[in-house]
Amino acid sequence: MVNLRGLAPSDVPTIQDQIAMVAQFRGIQNPALSAADLTTQLVNGLVNDGVISPDQASAIQTAVTQEVVKPVGQLTISGRLVSHSVQSAGVVEVDVQLTNTGTGNATNVELALPVPRSLGVTGFISLNSELSGNFPLSVGNLAVGASTVAKFFFNVPSSVTKFSVTENGAMQDALGRPFNFSTSQVVFQ
């Protein structure tokens, strides 16, 4: 980072400004190159001038690749009701599509036990674990824009005509950092 004295914090150049200044100083002809190409040109120039060693150049390129070139992105999982149907007396199947609507890939996505809740009338709704399977449910990885459908089965009394289902889950970003998500749908039957 360039250390500039005598400037107010709002006057300090952004990283893009600093790259442009270094590119101009180093005589780089095309500072609009990708971060990887620009870094390669800058580092090679410093090595050729004897300012840094090839090992230092490699470390700089690795750091830039990990921190700048491969941005992690924002993780966002959205859910929507795909379908629902009565399977047998008192058992309703609910299919929920989970989509990665963020800008980063979600890895190791898992769903916790879905939470149903009656809306408008009294009635106890429960997950039919025999038909729904075990939780947490491993979804795997969801690239940006990718979707998967999760099926849930609920025991729903006939008095309940509307209920909500909330899916809570966990995931990791490309650097392995943990994140949580929650999505909810309303089912009318």
Q: Residue 4: pLDDT above 80?
A: no
Decide which of 27, 44, 69 is a domain's last residue: 69
What is the domain extent for residue 17? Answer: 9-69
Mean pLDDT for the stretch of residues 55-63? 76
Task: Provide the pLDDT for residue 108.
Answer: 96
Q: Residue 138 sits in a domain of what CATH number?
A: 2.60.40.10
Task: Provide the pLDDT for residue 165.
Answer: 96
* H or E element in which residue 111 lies: strand 106-111
Clarify whether residues 146 and 85 are in a common domain: yes
124-138 burial by CB neighbour count: b if 16+ within 10 A, else e? Answer: ebebbeeebeeeebe
Rounded Cα–Cα distance for residues 12 and 90 (Å): 65
Task: Provide the pLDDT for residue 39.
Answer: 67
pLDDT, tens digit (0-9, with 9 covering 90-100), for 24-55: 555 545 545 555 566 676 767 777 777 778 88
Task: Provide the pLDDT for residue 89.
Answer: 87
Task: Provide the pLDDT for residue 52.
Answer: 75
With H, G, I as helix, E, B as strand and everything else as coil, classify residue 71.
coil
Decide which of 47, 69, 91 is a domain's last residue: 69
pTM above 0.85, yes or no: no
Q: 10 Å Cβ neighbour count for 19?
A: 19
Clarify whether residues 122 and 176 are in a common domain: yes
Domain annotation covers residue 1: no
**Residues 165 and 99 sit within 8 Å (Cβ to Cβ):** no
Task: Provide the pLDDT for residue 69.
Answer: 45
Task: Provide the pLDDT for residue 62.
Answer: 73
Task: Provide the pLDDT for residue 54.
Answer: 82
Q: How confident is the model at residue 183 (pLDDT cuts 50, 70, 90)?
A: very high
Clarify whether residues 100 and 176 are in a common domain: yes
pLDDT, tens digit (0-9, with 9 covering 90-100), for 85-124: 999 889 999 999 999 999 899 999 999 999 999 998 888 9
Task: Provide the pLDDT for residue 74.
Answer: 86
Clarify whether residues 32 and 111 are in a common domain: no
Give the total residue count for the chain. 189
Clarify whether residues 56 and 113 are in a common domain: no
Q: How many domains are there within the chain?
A: 2
